[in-house]
């Protein structure tokens, strides 16, 4: 028979499990429950079931002494539910203890200036789970550590981790059930400690860690049982409002839900040393409790006013699944950048030769000044991301091939601005294969010479294919797994060189928009564009031919070295030949650096 526990009334805050000296406290918000009990478990069955006390809408109980190795849950009706604030989880329960002490070894976050950031969007499991990784810890946080030398060689300095919170069923993780704990799936034993070790070791090598967070809906979890009227947007009949495309929408501008979001973000900053966050479907944050968009959403104002959040990097996906498209809005609320969807679209359209795209392309190269008013660093530039075609598929397929996802090929975007270069799918036609590789080099050159923050999708640096699947959200297999025996290692070296060049040249990472007198833009004919950047020395000259005809481009005055010509087979000239005239075959581009003549 278990010994009797000495309990106290407890205190309503902080929510979750906490300690005050030698005492323990459990606290849960719920406005509608008539009663609530705390269950303490050894194994599958509760050994203690203790009624909790209520202050306002918060239930709480304290304990003088607590036996070790217990787990806990709350009894809502006949159902045991997980504490939404728990830090250590075990299936549907939580451990009645705090994370163990951790030696951060005087960890100092890299604090990389925004203009120097190069993002690598990564899935923790997919990065090392493939047998070709030869990882000692495949598919885990510890596996990422083993590949830090690879990331350093590539040149990226931020890893943006696709969701690492516990989630329901899908591989990508965009259906969270909890917001305060890393997923056990990514650990060998202790996910909290192993995640911290990963962050610490990345920081030692000058690499920051961003989390992709999903504060717009849940895939399950306990919030619905605890208080669905508070935590979710509901209509007059009590049915879910679906602005996310996932069946429900978190009630993000209710004060209690705001507290949950802020508490989660601050926990990941303070306890886990995370450097930044990318907010999935961030436009949900602008909807009030009835789902109506508002001009001054209180959740964004609270984030803006929080001193700890003002010191980390914030990125918004500035749209949702119900029609909101709010490019340029989030930077007005402080230190936000945005995934720049119009950048992706403009670059894809111009480089595949669509008519009348020159001005949109110019705007994209310059950091989208028609969208952003303060700085080009509000723009996170990308050609590809986790959803949509990966880079090699973008030039190989025009039709998505998502049948394996089990939704009859109805899922995934149907409009992708992609071009297969003449034939659908893989080909042995040498001419088409050459054109595809040229287009990939065109995309990569564009990405890394554009003003703003570049983001590279995991696998694009080695030509990974998803075989035309543009939405492999549930594919825990080779479609999503990084290959460690790449078919074209020259591609990796080319990208690494472009990243190094970007870091070296001030003209490519301006904090303020380039002024007219600091550049020369020419568009002598449709599909042909040149850009001279001359604010800093050495000057840079970039030319793009997105037409089906050969073009000759005059080089500006002075002596110039060829660095990249995308007709060449993954060649990057550290200090290339001097060039006075540029011959650009169809669908090619080039980069020149002006020689500095010593007196």
Residue in this structure with the two tokens 């009835």, named with its chain if needed? 290
Are residues 263 and 15 in contact, defined by beta-carbon separation less than 8 angstroms?
yes
Q: Enumerate residues 6+ apart whose C-beta is below 8 A from 444.
A: 383, 391, 494, 495, 498
Q: Distance (Å, rounded) from C-alpha 575 to C-alpha 100? A: 52
* Catalytically annotated residues: 280, 317
Question: Any bridge partners for residue 75, and if so which?
Answer: 37, 80
CB atoms within 10 A of CB 68: 6
Segments of 140-272 assigned E as strands:
158-161, 208-213
Are residues 330 and 273 in contact, defined by beta-carbon separation less than 8 angstroms?
no
Are residues 295 and 266 in contact, defined by beta-carbon separation less than 8 angstroms?
no
Q: Distance (Å, rounded) from C-alpha 558 to C-alpha 31? A: 73
The 3-state DSSP class for residue 80 equals strand
Residue 558 Rama label (left phi>0; alpha psi -120 to 50; beta):
left
Give the max Cα distance, the chain. 91
Q: Distance (Å, rounded) from C-alpha 444 to C-alpha 329? A: 27
Are residues 464 and 478 in contact, defined by beta-carbon separation less than 8 angstroms?
no
The 3-state DSSP class for residue 43 equals coil
């Amino acid at each position: 028979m278990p010994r009797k526990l000495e309990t106290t009334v407890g205190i309503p805050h902080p929510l979750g499990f906490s300690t005050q000296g030698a005492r323990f406290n459990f606290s849960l918000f719920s406005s509608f429950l008539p009663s609530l009990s705390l269950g303490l478990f050894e194994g599958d069955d509760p050994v203690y079931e203790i009624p909790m006390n209520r202050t306002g809408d918060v239930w709480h109980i304290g304990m003088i002494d607590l036996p070790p190795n217990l787990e806990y849950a709350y009894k809502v009706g006949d159902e045991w539910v997980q504490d939404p604030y728990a830090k250590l989880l075990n299936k549907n329960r939580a451990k009645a203890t705090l994370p163990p002490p951790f030696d951060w070894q005087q960890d100092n976050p890299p604090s990389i200036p925004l203009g120097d950031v190069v993002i690598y969007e990564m899935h923790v499991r997919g990065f090392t789970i493939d047998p070709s990784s030869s990882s000692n810890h495949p598919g885990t946080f510890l596996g990422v550590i083993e590949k830090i030398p690879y990331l350093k060689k590539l040149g990226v300095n931020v890893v943006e981790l696709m969701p690492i919170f516990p989630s329901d069923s899908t591989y990508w993780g965009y259906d969270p059930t909890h917001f305060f704990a890393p997923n056990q799936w990514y650990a060998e034993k202790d996910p909290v400690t192993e995640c911290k070790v990963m962050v610490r070791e990345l920081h030692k090598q000058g690499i920051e860690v961003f989390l992709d967070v999903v504060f717009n809906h849940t895939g399950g979890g306990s919030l619905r049982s605890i208080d669905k009227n508070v935590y979710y947007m509901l209509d007059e009949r009590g049915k879910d409002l679906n602005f996310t495309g996932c069946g429900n929408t978190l009630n993000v501008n209710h004060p209690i839900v705001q507290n949950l979001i802020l508490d989660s973000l601050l926990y990941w900053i303070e306890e886990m040393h995370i450097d930044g966050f990318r907010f999935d479907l961030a436009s949900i944050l602008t909807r009030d409790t009835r789902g109506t968009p508002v001009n001054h959403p209180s959740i964004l104002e609270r984030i803006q006013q929080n001193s700890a959040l003002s010191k980390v990097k914030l990125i918004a996906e500035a749209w949702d699944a119900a029609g909101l498209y709010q490019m340029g809005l989030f930077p007005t609320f402080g230190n936000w950048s945005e995934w720049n969807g119009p950048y992706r679209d403009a670059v894809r359209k111009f480089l595949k030769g669509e008519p009348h795209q020159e001005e949109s392309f110019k705007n994209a190269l310059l950091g989208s000044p028609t969208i952003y008013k303060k700085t080009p660093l509000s723009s996170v530039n990308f050609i590809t991301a986790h959803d949509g075609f990966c880079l090699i598929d973008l030039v190989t397929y025009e039709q998505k091939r998502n049948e394996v996802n089990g939704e009859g090929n109805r899922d995934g975007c149907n409009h992708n601005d992609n071009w297969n270069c003449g034939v659908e799918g893989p080909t042995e036609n040498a001419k088409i294969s050459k054109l595809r590789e040229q287009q990939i080099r065109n995309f990569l050159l564009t990405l890394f010479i554009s003003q703003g923050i570049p983001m590279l999708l995991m696998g694009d640096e080695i030509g990974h294919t998803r075989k035309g699947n543009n939405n492999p959200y549930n594919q825990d297999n080779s479609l999503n797994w990084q290959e460690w025996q790449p078919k074209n290692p020259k591609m990796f070296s080319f990208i690494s060189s472009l990243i190094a060049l970007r870091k070296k040249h001030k003209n490519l990472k301006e904090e303020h928009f380039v002024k007219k007198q600091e550049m020369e833009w020419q568009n002598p004919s449709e599909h042909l564009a040149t850009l001279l950047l001359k604010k800093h020395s050495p000057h840079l000259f970039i030319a793009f031919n997105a037409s089906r005809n050969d073009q000759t481009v005059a080089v500006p005055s002075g002596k110039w070295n060829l660095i990249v010509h995308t007709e060449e087979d993954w060649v990057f000239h550290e200090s290339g030949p001097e060039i006075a005239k540029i011959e650009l075959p169809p669908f090619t581009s080039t980069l020149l650096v002006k020689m500095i003549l010593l007196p």
